[in-house]
Amino acid sequence: MSEGNLTGGGALWPGDKLRKNVEAAACRMRRRVVWIEETTAIDGVLIETRRSYEFERIPITPKSKRPLCGARCRDGHECRARCVEGRKRCRLHGGLSTGPKTEAGRLRIAESNRRRAK
């Protein structure tokens, strides 16, 4: 399955911007990048090098096979929702959270944790 290819003599090898852009696109599409380099030689003389990439699917665990969230709900029982893929909590209990991005947000969370630890 080849959704994007860069082939030909003048193609850049995944280094600087190309690798970064392709990896970012693969992440957005929930795919993995496979880098390919094909060389053509005649009588031991290197004629051409073709460089390309392909995207392959990352297997996703079905929701029914994921563990339960287990966070404490307000009424005291444990949450019975399934966890977000690759996380330990459901979407309602922080599984989709990426954390604070700004310095002010990080300081606010640090202060909250200090107060809670007492």
pLDDT digits (tens, 9 = 90+) for 38-78: 888 888 888 888 888 888 888 888 889 999 999 999 899 99
Residues 67 and 52 in one domain: no
DSSP state of 65: G
Of residues 53, 21, 26, 24, the one with CA closest to residue 37: 53
**Residue where a domain terminates, one of 16, 31, 59:** 59
34 with 80, same domain? no
Domain boundary among 59, 76, 101: 59
| Local structure of 24: helix, strand or coil | helix
Picking from 41, 40, 37, the residue whose alpha carbon sits closest to that of residue 6 is 37
pLDDT at residue 5 above 70? Answer: no
| Full domain range(s) for residue 92 | 63-117
- Distance, in Å, from the CA atom of 24 to the CA atom of 59, rounded to the nearest integer, reads 18
Q: In this predicted structure, what is the pLDDT of residue 26?
A: 87
Ranges of beta strands (E only) in the chain are: 31-42, 45-57
What token pair was written down for 9?
Answer: 């003599």
Claim to verify: residue 19 and residue 69 sit in the same structural domain: no
Please report the pLDDT score of residue 9 as a whole number: 42
1, 38: one domain: yes
Band of the pLDDT at 2, cuts 50, 70, 90?
very low
Determine the straight-line distance between the first and last CA of the chain, rounded to whole angstroms: 55
In the structure encoding, which two tokens stand for residue 27, read together? 């992440």
Same domain, 55 and 67: no
Same domain, residue pair 29 and 51 = yes
Q: Name the token pair of 46.
A: 């290197």
DSSP β-ladder status, 31-42 and 45-57: antiparallel
Q: How many domains does the chain have?
A: 2
pLDDT given at position 30: 80
Residue 16's pLDDT band, with cuts at 50, 70 and 90, is: low
Residue 53, beta-bridge partner list = 35
Q: What is the chain's mean pLDDT, rounded? A: 81
